Structure 1
Amino acid sequence: MNAKELRQYFPILHQEVNGHSLVYLDNGATSQKPIQVIEAMEKYYKEYNSNVHRGVHTLGSKATDGYEGAREKVRAFINAREAAEIVFTRGTTTAINTVAYGYARATLKPGDEIVTTIAEHHANFIPWQQAAKVTGATFKFIPLTEEGTVTLDAVRETITPQTKIVAIRHISNVLGDTVPVKEIAKIAHENGAILVVDGAQGAPHMRIDVQELDCDFYTFSSHKMCGPTGIGVLYGKRELLEKTEPVEFGGEMIDYVDLYDSTWKEVPWKFEGGTPIIAGAIGLGAAIDFLQEIGMDEIERHEKKLIAYALEQMLEMEGITIYGPKQDRSSLITFNLAQVHPHDLATVLDSHGIAIRAGHHCAQPLMRWLNVSATARASFYVYNTEEEVDVFLAGLKKTKEYFGNVFS
């Protein structure tokens, strides 16, 4: 099924914005939802809305089956060894914070090292920054190439036997580069460290096999992969999840409560305090079904084709600066137009029905490294077409002409 055929399943795409057909190129922030996901969540609320695990009545059993069935779908989607290694969270940010608070703060000491890069999303930067401050660990950064990419030589030079945690993105939400996670995991493990991967921009766009990658933790969000907002996934190797302390207490995660002490359920439930995100998990499960039917390899192929098509023409346009590698990018293009603030650019494009992102993209250290305050970002997904790329490029040219006249 090609992109044009897929669009029939996305009601939101069939509308006009400011008198123009919507061209949605802000998928890096959040993707749109197919009718299959919307209907799966609606069916839960209409037909078997109930809490999970503890209820023995019929609706409770159906809800539990839906919730735990979604966990199994996630397990298969990333090829985890067992469903117990899949923890539902509020999103990538919560998942990373769970590791930073529940594992890092409990195990790190002065002299230990946390290694990351300045190109990380704040969600994969601040938790480690704060964990280092609290524990006395050293916060270190892998040097970047001129394009902002990570080389294995730089990784080897930065990671030492004192390194305990390496935290890195799978795909940059600004630069669009894909990090060699499998090779970095090997280097980390040779030095006795664990690897935590921010997969927010990875899981929606490529096939993920956590056993093949051999990462220790992998995190991602539902809403960037056709699923609902408010739910995400923390994958962790069982032995590490068992060493990780819960960060929320009460409700579903409880085993036994005494006056002065309590015990927790086994993984993964010890991390899912309170009433869990039931409808969200069911929606995520439906999104995974949808993506699996298309095929993750096909999604990656389609997006790379769109990126190459757009890049080729943008590189020929005078006055455009593109950040990150000029080849082998994934899912997004970050750029600036000379003499035009990214917010102004995004506003003009919006007047033509084109939705892009503008700002620092939750990556302020990277913005300073790039010597800019903000950038524009066009991010693509499985339902975008070459015709939409043409509309986007035409919009860029119109914006150039408009501001060219203003500044002339």
Structure 2
Amino acid sequence: MEVTSLEKFGRRLRIAMIGGGLGSYIGESHRIALRADGLWDLVAGVFSRDYSLSKATGRQLLIDPERVYTDHHELIRAESLRPDRVDAVIVATRPSSHAGIVIALLEAGFHVVSEKPLTSSVDEAIAVEDALVRSGRRLLLTHCYSGYPMVRMARDMILRGDLGRVTAVDTEFANGAYAAGAPADAWRLGSAEAGEAGMLVDLGTHALQLATYVTGARVSEVAARLDRLSPGHEIYDSAFLDLTFDNGAIGRCWSTYQAAGAVHGLRLSVYGDRGSLAWDHESAEVMWWRPVDGPATLLTKAGPMATDGALTASRFTAGHPDGYGLAFANLYRDFAEALIAESVGNDPGHFLSRLPGVEDGVHTLDVVEGALASHTADHARVKVPTRTRLH
């Protein structure tokens, strides 16, 4: 029997977490995801700016108290000296702190798993990208929806030409989180983290990344209308973007916190000259395929028409839902496989090609910056920078 890369590597990858303490939804999402395949051990962290909460989180997670640190500076100093230092660090803090923490980790030689958005601004995102290139490390940006089997199936089908020439992309993240008011601690409604475009940075980047992930195209131009549907909000809580892609397709993207009654609200449709695909996160196990020369077909994950990408991302047979947690876990599994492959001298490219990374972070923030400029210029079309891709 062939020896696997994990057997050659000889251990699980060790990981630390910054942020994500007790009561944190996103922190627990990361912990569920990293445990799913037994490839990671969470052994250290700074789980909160409140050291007492950080220690309480460490106790609940059975982490050695000596490896629960006061801040990321102490984590970097202490872990760098340990013979069993962590291989990677999760950054699950608020967006305004990402750049400084991520750059410090990369410069110290750690791989990074970063919550999205990558940073709060394009300039900071480019600084992270520069640090990543200098470090020779790897960075996973957890745009978790790209781990769903049907999203990966859409990508495979578009890549092999099933839709023909892609002509239009329609995506939205129409969420009703704050349509009926907001709690006093709803920091996403303030401008401190990402300025007036905070909602677009939070929700819109997910929808934009989904569109670019499945099509392989980048946004080349944007025209935007930004609104405050709730007058008391500091941020624009609704954004309509009119998009042009670098493959010639047109598109639109709507994101909002004010879609009253919406449960989640993430959707994607892609149209080509040979057919179209439609996926809705609230029915994530299926996707409509409507070819121009045949009947509409409801595709299922792990079903008879599933692509390799969909099958690899499916943990259970068709009819047995995988869900959000395992879509998230697919990112952690692929990232672990890439790091382990690289460590034992194998090519990690196959695993890295499935994953969102620093380029996704830079590009989506480029689009956000273009949208702000467009809105300020009476909704004029604004060119989005064309940047050299790392891979």
Structure with the higher helix share, 1 or 2: 1
Q: Which has the larger radius of gyration?
A: 1
Structures share fold, TM-score greater than 0.5: no
Query: Could you state the TM-score of these two structures normalised by the residue count of structure 2?
Result: 0.27
Higher relative contact order (CA 8 A, sep 6+): 1
- TM-score for the superposition, normalised by structure 1: 0.27
